[in-house]
Amino acid sequence: MTQRAVVIGGSIAGLCAARVLADYFDRVTVVDRDAYPQGPAERAGVPQGRHVHALLARGRRELERLFPGFERQMLGAGAHEIDFARDFATLRGEGWMAREESGIATLFASRTLLESIVRDLLRAVPRVELVERTAVTGVVAERAPRARVRAVRLADGELPAELVVDATGRGSQAPDWLQALGLEPPANTVVDSRSGYATRWYREPEPARWPAEWWWKGIWVDPHEPEHMTAGVLFPVEGGRWIVTIAGIAGHYPPSDEAGFGAALARLRSPIIAHAVELAEPISPVYSNRAMANRFRHYERWPQRLDGFLAVGDSVCAFNPVYGQGMTTAAVAATLLAESLDRVGPTSPALPRTFFRAQARFLRDAWSLATGADFRFPGRRLQPLHRRALQRRGGRCRAAPAGRRGDQHAPPPGRLLRAVRAGARSPGDARPCLPARGGRAAPRLAGGLTRG
Ligand SMILES: Cc1cc2nc3c(=O)[nH]c(=O)nc-3n(C[C@H](O)[C@H](O)[C@H](O)COP(=O)(O)OP(=O)(O)OC[C@H]3O[C@@H](n4cnc5c(N)ncnc54)[C@H](O)[C@@H]3O)c2cc1C
């Protein structure tokens, strides 16, 4: 046992990392700028919590391993356990899918419920403390003999730490904090297919009012290019509610006003969701989210070093959420962190490099899945360096351009499918949240993705 670890950001990635660190440190302090709500409710630091969140089978398994009792509590709080292949009405590129028993039970619940249960389970872990309403503004380090973290900076002082973990999500300021220490931040790869969500919540009608033909528990409608550049889902969640999300691809952002949202539902490839919500009661405004680009910060090949500094979750690798990978990869990263801690020890100078490399090896397949599919959308945006590199290679999107500041990691589809089917190191084990490109990718993937 040794000293204190500070985790910056108490969302899924930070909570999972803190759970693991509690086995190695005398004290683990999770600092978040938000006040945590009582129970499952929205909070400002996690605006994506209003949108559909699919938990892949691997993520469910990892969360249960990190937080025994997680599944029981989710089900007790009203999460639905659903066999997607049997219980969802699913319109793919080739038409409506036949219903079949997959044997895979997926949990459907709100992101806010999931986070609140994980947070409560972490509170019960000895040596962990959650500090709210406290924004971290920087990292404090000693420079000699080597750069080493000493504390995190707060508005009113410093919080000493032997290990600091950045889990502040997609908008992480850690690159600026590193720059302030005189360290060049890690390179970035950004692949932006200009996707966006619009989401509205509904109270589902009483079962007695359900028309006889409503056998489904949820609905999934794929896009179909070029006529239908939006997908739609209806997910049942706890409390007799539905979350309905429209996902637009390649710059076809769904409308964020109520009338426009209803009209866009009716224009999906099937009006089935529009018909369903006619019987339901809207209980929220329409929420919009367009911060959905894939971004990989390459700490694994960061030429600088800062001992005692780690990063996890979206702050390292944020995916286009239509593939539903973020929570699962965050949970798996915590297990990789435990393996690295076992290997080199919690205060070893080798810890950051060991962990960052292990994490990146794991993330590579998830990154390939998301960006490989996104590359096929017209008008996706690349970082300038990558665009030049792709042009040099004749504009082939799946190439991995050379260059010091990043590559695409997008393998040929064969490798991608094998990696996902193998299941071992992929985050998948369940279908991506919203399939890409007229649904052609997802059915091929789905077969091997759903091992529980
Ligand atoms: C629209 C949308 C839909 C998504 N759908 C899915 C899905 O279907 N399935 C899935 O698995 N994932 C999905 N994701 C991704 C998922 O939400 C994240 O991967 C997951 O929440 C893990 O993120 P995180 O913990 O790294 O960061 P976040 O959840 O973004 O949390 C960051 C935390 O850091 C705190 N913070 C930030 N700055 C500071 C600071 N300076 N000081 C202190 N605290 C700070 C914030 O308050 C917040 O609590 C979706 C994302 C989006 C945007």
Per-residue pLDDT tens digits for 407-449: 233 333 333 333 332 232 333 333 333 333 333 333 222 222 2
User: CA separation (Å) from 143 to 183, 293, 334?
Assistant: 11, 35, 28
* 218 CB near ligand 1 (under 6 Å): no
Q: Which residues pair with 191 in a beta bridge?
A: 294, 382
DSSP state of 48: G
- What atom in ligand 1 is closest to the CA of residue 43? 47
From the CA of 15, give the closest atom in ligand 1: 25
- pLDDT attached to residue 409: 30
Average pLDDT score over the chain: 85
pLDDT at 68 over 90: yes
From 19, 29, 53, 122, mutation site for ligand 1 pocket: most ligand atoms within 8 A of C-beta: 53
Instruction: Quick: pLDDT tens for 272-328.
Output: 999 999 999 999 999 999 989 999 999 999 999 999 999 999 999 999 998 889 999
Is the bond into 145 cis (omega within 30 degrees of 0)? yes
Domain boundaries, the chain: 2-50+69-79+111-188+295-363, 196-289
> In 3D, which of 130, 186, 131, 141 has the Cα closest to residue 309?
141
Q: 133 φ, ψ to 5°?
A: 50, 40
Q: How many CB atoms lie within 10 A of CB 343?
A: 13
Is residue 378 very low, low, confident or very high in pLDDT (cuts 50, 70, 90)? Answer: low
Supply the residue whose CA is at minimum distance from atom 19 of ligand 1: 326
Measured over the CA atoms of residue 59, residue 65, residue 66 and residue 68, the dihedral's sign is positive
pLDDT at 243: 98
Phi, psi of 397 (to 5 degrees): -75, -25
Residue 265 Cα to ligand 1 midpoint, Å, equals: 27
321 in contact with ligand 1, CB cutoff 6 A: yes
Residues 6+ apart with CB under 8 A from 394: none
pLDDT digits (tens, 9 = 90+) for 199-243: 999 999 998 899 999 999 999 999 988 889 999 999 999 999 999
Q: Please state which architecture CATH assigns to domain 196-289.
A: 2-Layer Sandwich (3.30)
Q: How far is CA 187 from the centre of its chain?
A: 21
Assess whether the C-beta atom of 102 lies below 6 angstroms from ligand 1.
Answer: no
> What residue type is 41 in one-letter code?
A
Give the pLDDT score at 400. 27
Tell me if domain 2-50+69-79+111-188+295-363 and domain 196-289 are identical in fold: no
State whether the beta carbon of 324 lies less than 6 angstroms from ligand 1. Answer: yes
79 alpha carbon to ligand 1 midpoint, in Å? Answer: 20
Q: Which whole number is the average pLDDT over 10-25?
A: 98
Q: Residue for token digits 């600091």?
A: 164
Can you give the pTM of this predicted structure?
0.87
Confidence of residue 35 (pLDDT cuts 50, 70, 90): very high
Q: How confident is the model at residue 391 (pLDDT cuts 50, 70, 90)?
A: very low
Q: Residue 57 corresponds to which amino acid?
A: A
Any ligand 1 atom below 6 A from CB of 46 = yes
Class for the domain spanning 2-50+69-79+111-188+295-363: alpha beta
Counting DSSP H helices and E strands in the chain, the numbers are: 13, 22
Task: Please indicate whether residue 31, judged by its CB atom, sits closer than 6 Å to ligand 1.
Answer: yes
Mean pLDDT, residues 87-93 taken together: 94
The rounded Å distance from CA 110 to ligand 1 centre is: 14
452 CA to centre of ligand 1 in angstroms: 24
Q: Measuring CA to CA, which residue among 254, 319, 317 is closest to residue 289?
A: 254
32 lines ligand 1 (CB under 6 A): yes
The model's pLDDT over 182-208, given as tens digits with 9 standing for 90+, comes to 999 999 999 998 999 999 999 999 988
* Cβ 317 vs Cβ 295: under 8 Å: yes
pLDDT at 419: 31
Work out which ligand 1 atom sits closest to the CA atom of 34: 47
pLDDT of amino acid 198: 98
Q: Give mean pLDDT, residues 168-174.
A: 97
